[in-house]
Structure 1
């Protein structure tokens, strides 16, 4: 989607070129100067519109990348939970011992930070 500032800027720039050329041909210094000023303003507005388009494009790309990363993270989490479930079902005693050791270690860490 093209920003409207680009369109109006290009039109203003073209109008300024025409006015400046007419001023040069007719010898009207006022029209020539006004045309060049309008041309410069149009060029600036066009550049502003291009910058807005670029920022919009970058934001859309960042959103798409973040959405993909979120979906991949969810998939990885589901796969990990399924694998842990299989391991617990296959080795229940070892799983209980590991869970107990992790709980004991966390208890030590929490208790150590209080002292």
Structure 2
């Protein structure tokens, strides 16, 4: 849980209390302010949840990238000639495709 989730939940709960007080004393302005605080709190909480999920996805992406880099490095160490040949073929194909588009 991050600070946006906590603050959002607190604001939402405070908004519910404010709405109840406004309803109890018959003050529409206080009641409406409570409703607004509830929406603001729920929004901030949702933002905090989304921010947390984005951070999790970024961490997973970094892990996959690192794993891929290590796998390629191991492959090059195990088969250096084959890797060089493969890189040459890819380079030739990219060059051929780029040359074909320029004409």
TM-score by length of 1: 0.67
Larger radius of gyration: 1
Cα distance in structure 2, aligned partners of 1:3 and 1:66: 26
- Once the two structures are superposed, residues 40-96 of structure 1 have per-residue CA deviations (whole angstroms, 9 ceiling, x without a partner) of 100111111111111111000000110111111111110002xx5xxxxxxxxxxxx
Number of aligned positions between the proteins: 83
Structure 2, unmatched stretches of 5+, are 82-91, 93-98
- Once the two structures are superposed, residues 12-52 of structure 1 have per-residue CA deviations (whole angstroms, 9 ceiling, x without a partner) of 00100111011111211111011000111001111111111
Task: Show the counterpart of 1:13.
Answer: 12
Task: Show the counterpart of 1:40.
Answer: 39
Task: Show the counterpart of 1:64.
Answer: 63
Cα distance in structure 1, aligned partners of 2:62 and 2:41: 31
Structure 1, unmatched stretches of 5+, are 85-105, 107-112
Deviation, 1:3, is: 2.1
CA RMSD of superposed structures (Å): 1.6
Name the SS for the 1:17 alignment partner.
helix
Cα distance in structure 2, aligned partners of 1:80 and 1:21: 72
